[in-house]
A and B are shown apart, each in its own frame.
Chain A
Amino acid sequence: MAKVLMKGNEAVGAAAIEAGCRFFFGYPITPQNEIPEYMSRELPKVGGMFVQAESEIAAINMVYGAAGAGARVMTSSSSPGISLKQEGISYLAGAELPCVIVNMMRGGPGLGGIQPSQTDYFQATRGGGNGDYRVLVLAPSDVQELVDLVIEGFDLADEYRNPVMILGDGMIGQMMEPVEFKEREKRELPPKDWATTGTNGKRKPNIINSLYLNAEDLEKHNTYLQNKYNKMREKEVRVESYNVEDADVVISAYGTTARIAKTAISKLEKEGYKVGLIRPISLFPYPYDEFNKIKDDCKGVLTVEMNTGQMLDDVRIALNGRVPTYFYGRTGGMVPTPEEIVNKVKEIYGGAK
Chain B
Amino acid sequence: MEERIIIAGFGGQGVMAMGQLITYSGMIEGKKVSWLPSYGPEMRGGTANCNVIISTEPVGSPVVVEASTAIVLNKPSLDKFESAVVPGGKLFINSSLIDRKSTRDDIDVYYVPATEIANELGNPRVANMVMLGAYLEVSNTVEVESILEAFGKVFGESKAHLLPLNKEALEKGMETVKQVQTDTV
**A residues neighboring B (CB under 8 Å):** 3-5, 30-31, 114-115, 170-171, 174-178, 256, 259-260, 262-263, 266, 335, 337-339
- Asked whether, in the complex, the Cβ of B39 is within 8 Å of the Cβ of A337, the reply is no
Give chain B residues whose Cβ lies under 8 Å from the Cβ of A178. Answer: 27, 33
Residues on B facing A (Cβ under 8 Å):
20, 23-24, 27, 33-37, 39-40, 59-63, 65, 153
Most chain A beta carbons < 10 A, residue from B20, B33, B40, B61 = B61
The reply to whether B39 and A30 contact each other, CB–CB distance below 8 Å, is yes
CB pair B24–A5 under 8 Å, yes or no, is yes
A175→B61 contact, CB < 8 A: no
State whether A176 and B61 are in contact (beta carbons under 8 Å apart), knowing that A3-B27, A115-B40, A170-B39 are contacts in the complex.
Answer: no
User: How many angstroms from the CA of A337 to the CA of B60 in the assembled complex?
Assistant: 11
> Which of the residues B34, B60, B65 comes within 8 Å of A266, measured between beta carbons?
B60
- Please tell me if the beta carbons of A177 and B39 are within 8 angstroms of each other in the complex: no
Contact: A175 with B60, CB < 8 Å?
no
Complexed CA–CA distance, A335 and B64 (Å):
11
The residues of B that contact A266 with a CB separation of less than 8 Å are 60
Residues of chain A within 8 A of B60, CB atoms compared = 259-260, 262-263, 266, 338
Who on chain A is nearest to B37 by CB? A174
| Least CB separation from B154: chain A residue | A5
CA distance A256 to B61 in the complex (A): 8
CB distance from B116 to the nearest CB of A (A): 31
**Contacting A175 at CB < 8 Å: which of B27, B40, B62, B65?**
B62
Partner of A335, one of B27, B34, B37, B63: B63
Q: Which residue of B lies closest to A266 (CB)?
A: B60
**Shortest beta-carbon distance from A269 to chain B in Å:** 12
User: Would you call B65 and A339 a contact (CB within 8 A)?
Assistant: yes
Which of chain B's residues have a CB closer than 8 A to the CB of A259?
59-62
| Minimum C-beta distance from A46 to chain B (A) | 20
Q: Which of B23, B39, B40 contacts A176 (CB 8 A)?
A: B23
B63 & A177 in contact (Cβ 8 Å cutoff) = no
9 contacts between A and B (CB under 8 A): A5-B27, A30-B40, A31-B39, A115-B40, A177-B35, A260-B61, A263-B60, A337-B65, A338-B65
- Complex partner residue of A171 from B24, B27, B36, CB under 8 angstroms: B36
Q: How far is the CB of A142 from chain B (nearest CB, A)?
A: 8
Q: Count chain A CB atoms within 10 A of each CB in B20, B33, B34, B60 and give the residue with the most.
A: B60
In the bound complex, do residue A174 and residue B23 qualify as a contact, i.e. CB atoms below 8 Å apart?
A: no
- Complex: how many Å from CA A335 to CA B27? 26
